[in-house]
Amino acid sequence: MVPQTIKNVNSIVRMLSSSTNLKNNSGDKMNEEERYLFDLWGYVVIENVLSAGQITTLNQLIDQRNFPTPTEDIQSQRFGGFFDWKKDDFRHLLNHERITPLLKEIIGPKFRLDHTYGILMTKGNMGGNLHGGGEPYDPAQYYVFKNGRMYNGLTVVSWALTDALPDQGGFCCIPGSHKSNVRRPSSFTPVKSNPKCMVSVHQKAGDVVIFTEALTHGTLPWNATHPRRSILIKYSPGHLSWGHGRYSDDLRRKMESEDQRLMLEPPYVSNRKVVVE
């Protein structure tokens, strides 16, 4: 059961996020409402990024893999490798035209792919406690605002392939915690007993949540009869890497565009090329 406080706060969050999307018609840059909400909350919801046909195709590709039923082991709820799959539908998400202009604003024009994974949850899976936050400062997962613009470390683009609606569970967070100057009390860590400041962030299939890893966030237990399916693509500034992996030449060859290949470059600064003009 989601506490009533969470429901009330989340209804405001959803209303403001929805109005933001209605006003953003061009999709070629982050508008002022999206910028304000991301600075205020540490995340923003972008609705209807994927069409019904795209959602169906991506889910079918996952079905074909016959992944085992997830258990309480968090690793059983994750899968990877989808950028290496033969069909390129998942690779198209990497540089989606609706998302990359926002990443330019959030991270900067020379961002890179850090790491990825998918999430599978079924009814009864417990999720995970809250983690992250503005304090203590993490030089890989940070939020800073200087000289009229924001700077972020590791940043997540979470694609919903199934609905995550009220009382169903999924992504949750403490809005604004990416700017906190005080360490989170340990009593606020469990997601099941934090009615004071945590919200459940709702997504319909095809919606995207973009959030900074400096935000305190976690996963509510999954209560829906249908499975949770989300694709998390995580980006970093071009000069750093949170994950330890490097991308193979074979994967580079599968990428169709130069900006995709630039995102697979290892972290460095000198003469790094711009991904998004």
- What are 237-247's pLDDT values in tens digits? 999 999 988 89
Is pLDDT at 4 greater than 60 in this prediction? no
Is pLDDT at 101 greater than 60 in this prediction? yes
Is pLDDT at 25 greater than 70 in this prediction? no
In a domain, 93, yes or no: yes
Count of structural domains, the chain: 1
Is pLDDT at 20 greater than 50 in this prediction? no
In a domain, 268, yes or no: no
The pLDDT value recorded for residue 154 is 99
Give residue 28's pLDDT band: very low, low, confident or very high (50, 70, 90).
Answer: confident
For the chain, what percent of residues have pLDDT higher than 70? 90
In a domain, 91, yes or no: yes
The reported pTM is 0.91
Question: What digits encode the pLDDT tens for the residues 124-165?
Answer: 999 899 999 999 999 999 999 999 999 999 999 999 999 999
**SS3 sequence of the chain:** CCCHHHHHHHHHHHHHHHHHHHHCCCCCCCCHHHHHHHHHHCEEEECCCCCHHHHHHHHHHHHCCCCCCCCCCHHHHEECCHHHCCCCCCHHHHCCCCCHHHHHHHCCCCCEEEEEEEEEECCCCCCEEEECCCCCCECCECEEEECCEEEECCEEEEEECCCECCCCCEEEECCCHHHCCCCCCHHHCCHHHCCCCCEECCECCCCEEEEECCCCEEEECCCCCCCEEEEEEEEECCCCCCCCCCCCHHHHHHCCCHHHHHHCCCCCCCCCCCCCC
In a domain, 276, yes or no: no
Give residue 214's pLDDT band: very low, low, confident or very high (50, 70, 90).
Answer: very high
Question: What digits encode the pLDDT tens for the residues 185-212?
Answer: 999 999 887 767 999 999 999 999 999 9
State mean pLDDT over 159-184.
97
Question: What digits encode the pLDDT tens for the residues 43-87?
Answer: 999 999 999 999 999 999 999 999 999 999 999 999 999 999 999
The CATH number of the domain where 145 resides is what?
2.60.120.620
Q: Which domain holds residue 248?
A: 4-263
In a domain, 273, yes or no: no
In a domain, 135, yes or no: yes
Is pLDDT at 252 greater than 90 in this prediction? yes
In a domain, 53, yes or no: yes
In a domain, 271, yes or no: no
